[in-house]
Structure 1
Amino acid sequence: MTARTLLAVWGDPIGHSRSPALHGAAYRRMGLDWQYGRQRVDAAGFGAALAGLDDSWRGLSLTMPLKAAALEAADEIDAHARLTGAVNTLLLGERLRGFNTDVGGIVDAFRNAGVTGIRSARILGAGATAASALVALGELGATAVEVRARRPESAGRMLSIGEQLGVALTVVPFDAPVDAVDATVATLPSGTALDAGISAPLADSGGVLFEAAYAPWPSALASQWRNPRVISGFEMLLYQAVRQIRIFLHGDQDRRLDDEDVIVAIMRAAAMED
């Protein structure tokens, strides 16, 4: 009997992950006997866990706090991983290939919501997701991006990314004066509720909202957003997973799957039932 091909999502915590539902639905639709599970792995245990995998393992999805460790472990990385300093996908084999599919997932989420022509944008937060959001906004056409951070001095990587992309980047505290922008990307932890004196001006002038958090939904910020166009972070989760499946199947996150639109619809339904 041929051994099953194994894949999994690793992170800590991991019990809440919808990735097994998304990936499992796709592989069943494609007729692949691929088993995708979840495993709690922290940063300290990542190296040993990775070294313990045998040849039946094809790939890994990585969530927090493993994206930096995966970057260090990879033998080669894609351009998005290099820019952001984060790997969320490892294709296993003789050489470990690292990818960042979060950037493409954000781009796809905007485009599939019919959002184009972003020139100015605001990012709330300055962590790993914010870095991916900045690269995504650059690919969507943004030339000026404001980053609001609790500690503006911690946004050095964001400034470096902006310089590499040719995007005019400013970093300000959350209570700085607010100007109108085409789009806002919120990358704050799930459950965050900003003070009304801060959130109200952002909601009034922020354009389209992409809220990376998706549970609970709607978020506090999404609930008060003035623009009717609000994109849930579930869309990023869905489309970055599609890109991971492309990698696990073809080794290329830009090579579409056969019947991809049908597969995406099946994945979406499976996640909603999970």
Structure 2
Amino acid sequence: MKDKSSISPKTQFCALIGNPVGHSMSPAIHNAAFAATGQDFVYVACQVEDVAGALTGMRALGNFRGMSVTIPHKIEVMQHVDEISETDRAIGSINTVICDNGKLRGLGTDGPGALKALTDAGVDLTDKTVLMLGCGGASRAIAFTLANRSELAELVMLDIDKEFLQGLTSDLQQKTDKQISSAVMTESSIGAAMAKSDIIIQCTPVGMHPKENGTLVPAELFRAGQVVFDVVYNPLETRLLQEAKAAGCITISGVEMFINQAILQFEQFTGIDAPTEVMRNVVLKELGV
């Protein structure tokens, strides 16, 4: 965080909006990156229910540069920006808003961040069946990115919310050329999907601090060699990942996606290269590693 004495009317500020936001490490990671690169920026977390009001405030405040958007606002926020790329519009969710002289530009960094996490772990999606648990904003971004930028064989979607599930399934079927299947999330559907999936991506808040004991997948359903990626990053190793690792699975922590998407956001906020190692070290320190 910037020293209070160095904050001036010229200081640009960025914010995280969501509900809740108390668990977020975004302020720590971005403020450390601003300090390391000498940027006259500050970043704060704001619990927000009124998304339209928050975006109106962003337009009105001359030094409001950027906004990170988290649960549950990644879909609704699209209604209140001026410009979204065709790719992100097709995805149907964004997690970043940039303010250029009162004009709001929305984009997503979750999908590219998740794909990089998989690639960095040596995962080849070619001809693989990918199971995605949850159909919210992050899931939409990841699903569209994988469908458009890999040669996966099938994408299987599960969610307890039938409306979200049908909406995302229909969008993927219409806007991508991949095989898409879906089912309402139950013990039976999880079991059937796990039996045929090579890669499992957990895209719900289940297992997030402070409710670390939560998991959607019974431990006996894991098979050695499966790839299990949990987008939850606090704790660093969720119960899902612990049980998957014990079963011989390749595991990927959500911290990788979090760092990757934060790097992309920083570069959008500032226009300069991000101090990658500084940002990674801050996150790991916050997680007690």
RMSD: 2.2
Using structure 1 for the length normalisation, give the TM-score: 0.86
Aligned: 1:58 with 2:77: no
Tell me if the contact between 1:123 and 1:133 (Cα under 8 Å) persists in the aligned partners. no
Aligned: 1:215 with 2:237: no
- Cα deviation for residue 67 of structure 1 reads 1.7
Aligned: 1:166 with 2:177: yes
Aligned-partner Cα distance in 2 for 1:126–1:75: 25
> How high is the sequence identity, in percent, across the aligned residues?
27
Q: Quick one: structure 1 residues 65 and 206, their matched pair in 2 at CA, closer, same or farther if it must change by over 3 Å?
A: farther
Picking from 232, 244, 256, the partner of 2:265 is: 244
SS at match of 1:156: helix
**Aligned AA for 1:249?**
T
Deviations 1:101-122 (A, max 9, x none): 1111111111222222443211
SS at match of 2:130: strand
Deviations 1:195-238 (A, max 9, x none): 63xx522x127721111112234222212213442111111111
Aligned-partner Cα distance in 1 for 2:17–2:164: 27
Tell me if the contact between 1:125 and 1:149 (Cα under 8 Å) persists in the aligned partners. yes
- Report the number of matched residues: 260
Where does residue 254 of structure 1 map in the other structure?
none
**Aligned AA for 1:146?**
V
Aligned: 1:9 with 2:16: yes
Q: Quick one: structure 1 residues 187 and 195, their matched pair in 2 at CA, closer, same or farther if it must change by over 3 Å?
A: closer
Tell me if the contact between 1:144 and 1:168 (Cα under 8 Å) persists in the aligned partners. yes
Tell me if the contact between 2:224 and 2:249 (Cα under 8 Å) persists in the aligned partners. no
Using structure 2 for the length normalisation, give the TM-score: 0.82
Aligned: 1:200 with 2:190: no
Picking from 115, 118, 121, the partner of 1:113 is: 121
SS at match of 1:221: helix
- Cα deviation for residue 247 of structure 1 reads 1.4
The unaligned stretches of length 5 or more in structure 1 are 251-256
Where does residue 49 of structure 1 map in the other structure?
54
The unaligned stretches of length 5 or more in structure 2 are 1-7, 208-213
Where does residue 97 of structure 1 map in the other structure?
105
Q: Quick one: structure 1 residues 51 and 150, their matched pair in 2 at CA, closer, same or farther if it must change by over 3 Å?
A: closer
Tell me if the contact between 2:217 and 2:240 (Cα under 8 Å) persists in the aligned partners. no
Aligned-partner Cα distance in 1 for 2:86–2:36: 30
Picking from 74, 81, 93, the partner of 1:86 is: 93
